[in-house]
């Protein structure tokens, strides 16, 4: 019998819409590398000068060429360069995020943050919702682990992405 059943429910061809904007989501590994690289860049620009300055000052003090060693003397030179590195890091990060929703590492790896609808993301949304609120939530035990593990979901959005209504795509 090839006659259609008049009592059957209507049928329609329905296709899943995974990505209505047409943007290609960033790979999970690329996002992980970007986070690690951003941390290394921050450490190199801020902590490394502090450590090197402290080591040099401590070496001079141990050799008898410096004055008494205290915390201010130990990290004075390194602290100055660490502060300068922090200012440069903040300037570069704000410049890249404001221009295209990218951190330093995201720019290097060719990925960027956009709103879930594909529109550009604002600096305020990234700072307040993706970073500040997420940082406060990070005080909750195991929050960071849960946030990171959500990258394996179908939408590839972590909690901080859902909070800010953002997604990370290939630039």
The pLDDT profile of the chain, 171 residues, written as one tens digit per residue, is 577 888 888 888 766 555 566 789 999 999 999 999 999 999 999 999 888 887 877 777 777 655 555 555 556 778 888 899 999 999 999 999 999 999 999 999 999 999 999 999 999 999 999 999 999 999 999 999 999 999 998 889 999 999 999 999 999
Asked, for residue 23, whether it belongs to a domain, the answer is no
Tell me how many domains the chain contains.
1
Asked, for residue 144, whether it belongs to a domain, the answer is yes
Of 118, 113, 92, 89, which is closest to residue 101 (Cα–Cα)? 113
Rg of the chain over all Cα atoms, to the nearest angstrom: 24
Residue with tokens 């940082």, as numbered in its chain: 135
Three-class DSSP category at 167 = strand
Cα distances (angstroms) measured from residue 30 to each of 52, 77, 113: 31, 36, 13
Domain that holds residue 134: 28-170
Query: Is the C-alpha dihedral spanning 130, 136, 137, 142 positive or negative?
Result: positive
Asked, for residue 8, whether it belongs to a domain, the answer is no
Asked, for residue 5, whether it belongs to a domain, the answer is no
| First-to-last C-alpha distance (Å) of the chain | 54
Asked, for residue 22, whether it belongs to a domain, the answer is no
Q: Model-level pTM?
A: 0.78
Query: Is 41:85 a contact under the CB 8 Å cutoff?
Result: no
The whole-angstrom separation of Cα 61 and Cα 38 is 34
């Amino acid at each position: 019998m090839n006659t259609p059943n008049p009592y059957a429910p209507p049928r329609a061809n329905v296709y899943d819409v995974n990505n209505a904007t047409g943007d290609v989501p960033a790979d999970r590994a690329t996002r992980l590398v970007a986070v690690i690289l951003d941390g290394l860049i921050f450490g190199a620009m801020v902590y490394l000068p502090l450590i090197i300055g402290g080591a040099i000052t401590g070496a001079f003090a141990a050799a008898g060429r410096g004055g008494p060693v205290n915390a201010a003397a130990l990290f004075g030179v390194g602290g100055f360069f660490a502060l300068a590195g922090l200012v440069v890091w903040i300037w570069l990060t704000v410049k890249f995020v404001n221009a295209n929703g990218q951190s330093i590492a995201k720019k290097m790896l060719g990925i960027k943050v956009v709103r879930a609808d594909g529109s550009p993301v604002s600096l305020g949304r990234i700072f307040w919702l993706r970073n500040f609120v997420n940082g406060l939530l990070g005080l909750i035990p195991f929050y960071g682990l849960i946030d990171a593990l959500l990258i394996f979901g179908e939408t590839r959005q972590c909690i901080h992405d859902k909070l800010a209504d953002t997604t990370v795509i290939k630039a």
